[in-house]
Amino acid sequence: MRPMDQHDNSQNSTTNAVRRDNSNHSSPIPMSSSPPSTSANIRVNSILRVTTMFDNNRTGKVVAYDPSSNLVTLHIKGSKPGFTSVAVVNLNHCREYVVEQEPKDETLDPLYPVDINKLKRRQTENESEKKKEASFVNVKASRIGQALFRDIKKTMNQVIRWSNNDILINNTVRISEPYRSENVSIDPPPQSSNTAGSKNSAKGDNDTKTHIIKMVDKFWSDQSKAVSTSSRTKSETVNETTDSISSPN
């Protein structure tokens, strides 16, 4: 990895700006670990505008700055009134940063209240979602079975799961290997479910089975088209190569 060009530490009299010359597309890691001299102007409660290596602009109030690592923490206004976001920015990886407004004082504003219960609920939801995503993976199933599972999951992700190597929908409609439409079946109901509502349940299962059979047929039709297109492309490539070899110079 090539070290990037040195900072241009020239200081503008009206705006304290630091720019980097990245015209050679070199690495944003500086040759020296020490921050530029103008970084001393970055103080708590100052308004800082930064331009990242991807030309994204961010403007926010400085709530913390570490000169040794050149990391700055910004409070940035959210897209909605009353909302805010916190960003930690590595100034070594910025094209430019400008102190747009000097602070009147460096007294920190009170931190925004944190709803611990909301964070715990979000953590629980995320963990549950990740576990569910993990349950969708079945490395023992064939590649075509996994592909069919992903295809059905796009519209039925709440009711689909693996049962060994079978695909199970609504806990009743089963697709067994080799995952063709003739391999779609309905699991028999438990013996204790012989009630008046079993007829309605059976009708719903049959409707689901019919829908799944259509999805399976479409899946295999798309697979055939993809294979046909791939074979035709390879054939055309081979013919072009043969013609090129056989043609006189």
How confident is the model at residue 234, as a pLDDT? Answer: 62
Cα separation of 173 and 215, whole Å? 13
How confident is the model at residue 211, as a pLDDT? Answer: 94
Among candidates 151, 150, 155, which has minimal Cα distance to 133? Answer: 150
Q: DSSP letter string over 214-235?
A: HHHHHHHHHHHHHHHHHHHHHH
> What are the φ and ψ backbone dihedral angles of 238, each rounded to 5 degrees?
-65, -45
Please provide the CATH number assigned to the domain covering 46-101.
Answer: 2.30.30.100
Q: Model pTM?
A: 0.46
Residues of the chain with pLDDT under 70: 1-40, 110-112, 191-200, 230-249
| Residue 141 DSSP one-character state | S
Looking at the DSSP assignment, which residues form a beta bridge with residue 75? 61, 86
- Residues sharing a CB contact under 8 Å with residue 108, sequence separation 6 or more, in sequence order: 44, 45, 63
